[in-house]
Amino acid sequence: MENIALIESFSEFKDDKLIDRVTLMAILEDVFRNALKKKYGSDDNFDIIINPDKGDMEIWRNRVVVADGEVEDENSEISLSEARKIEPDFEVGEDVSEEVKLIDLGRRAILALRQNLISKIHEHDSTNLYKQFKDLIGEIYSAEVHHVRPKVIILVDDDGNEIVLPKEKQIPSDFFRKGDNVRGIIESVELKGNKPQIIMSRTSEKFLEKLFEQEIPEIFDGLIMIKKVVRIPGEKAKVAVDSYDDRIDPVGACVGMKGSRIHGIVRELGNENIDVINYTNNNQLFITRALSPAKVSSIKIDEDKKRAEVYLKLEEVSKAIGRGGHNIKLAGFLTGYELDVIREGNVAEEEDDVELTEFSDEIDGWVIDEFAKIGLDTARSVLKHSVEDLVRRTDLEEETVLEVIKILKSEFEA
């Protein structure tokens, strides 16, 4: 096979992989030099001339002429009689350049050349892909569902690149079929062997932040800034926003008339409930806003412990806690404080109430903590809820809840 014929047979890689001709020729030279090293022990005395425009190449072997019988290194030296077969007027000490044909390397070497070239091109392709998607980490990306598996969805973009959307990175209500278009952020790019694995996420706070940037022009333009985003994917999210311009209402601009601006984001996230909150450096006011829609009576903050006691009227407690405890949990994440709900109820009832911690001899501490997570820290506050509601809102089994209720009731019956 002539050199030019081999180059032409390699042109398919350039077309398939979209590698520019100069890069392809650089890879070719590297591959051929490796082949020469294997065949001759060194490639130092070889010149490889590649013509990227014609797709042609030449390999020239350079040796020094020595007297007959004095050749010590056949790769770098040639005897006078052998040199004169190439050119009859060569003399000892002169340089001889002889063209090497691919056929001289042997058929097996040529097959190895082709395989090595494929490997090098794939390696180059993977490196470029890795760099490309590394730069896209934290950005929204769209791809089409190619294959649905129990623990992962395989996506393919317009360029045929494979993207992975793991189950834990999907919103619980997500349901995709083959051919569906999916949006998420590129969360990470990992090298698995020589192949980059691109991970997409729809549960990341960054995804919600980027959706706001796309949908709210004032955020995209920098007039409104997102201070913090917290979310329980598919359930609820809180977004704190601020404005550089006092004339702009950041919350109103984000929500839009009758929720017109935020509606598309909510739909994208599987009807995730989104609270947009006006950010402030006043911690008491920020906590009050974060607990919306509940109306807070007063707040007592312990800055050292990053805890806040939030005083609420009885009818406001359930609003502050929210369904499944999501509201108070996210308010704590958003403000950075551990929030304790204190009820301002009927005085006689309050005096008659007992802190759950008083039952630590009969109820395990971790069980008491589970109730505290949803704002229930007294006996009467627990007894006001049904067994079904307590099981749904905590990580407790029905049997455990029933036992706790039995213990608490016996206290008041006594």
**What average pLDDT does range 351-366 have in this prediction?**
84
CATH number assigned to the domain comprising residue 22: 3.30.1480
The C-alpha atoms of residue 406 and residue 372 are separated, in whole angstroms, by: 18
Cβ–Cβ under 8 Å, residues 320 and 294 = yes
**34 and 17 in one domain?**
yes
Q: What is the pLDDT of residue 348?
A: 45
User: Is residue 163 one of the residues assigned to a domain?
Assistant: yes
Cβ–Cβ under 8 Å, residues 170 and 202 = yes
**216 and 184 in one domain?**
no
The residue out of 279, 307, 340 marking a domain boundary is 279
CATH number assigned to the domain comprising residue 173: 2.40.50.140
**114 and 10 in one domain?**
yes
Q: Is the whole model's pTM more than 0.95, yes or no?
A: no
Please give the single-letter amino acid code of residue 274.
Answer: I
CATH number assigned to the domain comprising residue 254: 3.30.300.20
The C-alpha atoms of residue 121 and residue 146 are separated, in whole angstroms, by: 25
Lowest mean pLDDT among 9-23, 227-241, 285-299, 370-384: 9-23
Q: What is the pLDDT of residue 285?
A: 93
Q: What is the pLDDT of residue 411?
A: 82
pLDDT band at 231, cuts 50/70/90? very high
**What average pLDDT does range 27-40 have in this prediction?**
79
For the cut 70, the answer to whether the pLDDT of residue 18 exceeds it is no
**154 and 97 in one domain?**
no
**251 and 140 in one domain?**
no
Range of the domain at 236: 210-279
pLDDT band at 206, cuts 50/70/90? very high
**111 and 77 in one domain?**
yes
The residue out of 226, 259, 279 marking a domain boundary is 279
For the stretch 51-70, pLDDT in tens is 655 656 788 889 888 888 88
Q: What is the pLDDT of residue 8?
A: 52
**31 and 108 in one domain?**
yes
Cβ–Cβ under 8 Å, residues 375 and 384 = no
Q: What is the pLDDT of residue 4?
A: 44
Number of domains in the chain: 3
For the cut 70, the answer to whether the pLDDT of residue 16 exceeds it is no
User: Is residue 395 one of the residues assigned to a domain?
Assistant: no
DSSP reduced 3-state for 58? strand
**90 and 18 in one domain?**
yes
For the cut 90, the answer to whether the pLDDT of residue 259 exceeds it is no
User: Is residue 312 one of the residues assigned to a domain?
Assistant: no
**221 and 195 in one domain?**
no
User: Is residue 15 one of the residues assigned to a domain?
Assistant: yes
**76 and 40 in one domain?**
yes
Tokens of 326: 């999501």
Q: Comparing 191 with 99, which gets the higher pLDDT?
A: 99
- Longest CA–CA span in the chain (Å) reads 124
**84 and 12 in one domain?**
yes
For the stretch 65-98, pLDDT in tens is 888 888 888 888 888 888 888 888 888 888 888 8
The DSSP string of 189-225 is EEEETTEEEEEEESSSHHHHHHHHHHH-HHHHTTSEE
User: Is residue 286 one of the residues assigned to a domain?
Assistant: no
For the cut 60, the answer to whether the pLDDT of residue 11 exceeds it is no
User: Is residue 273 one of the residues assigned to a domain?
Assistant: yes
**What average pLDDT does range 110-134 have in this prediction?**
71
User: Is residue 90 one of the residues assigned to a domain?
Assistant: yes
Rg, the chain, Cα only? 36
Q: What is the pLDDT of residue 347?
A: 45
For the stretch 153-190, pLDDT in tens is 999 998 888 999 999 999 999 999 999 999 999 999 88
User: Is residue 52 one of the residues assigned to a domain?
Assistant: yes
For the stretch 321-339, pLDDT in tens is 888 889 999 999 999 998 8
For the stretch 135-147, pLDDT in tens is 899 999 999 999 9
**105 and 151 in one domain?**
no
Lowest mean pLDDT among 194-198, 213-217, 279-283, 331-335: 194-198
The residue out of 95, 122, 149 marking a domain boundary is 122
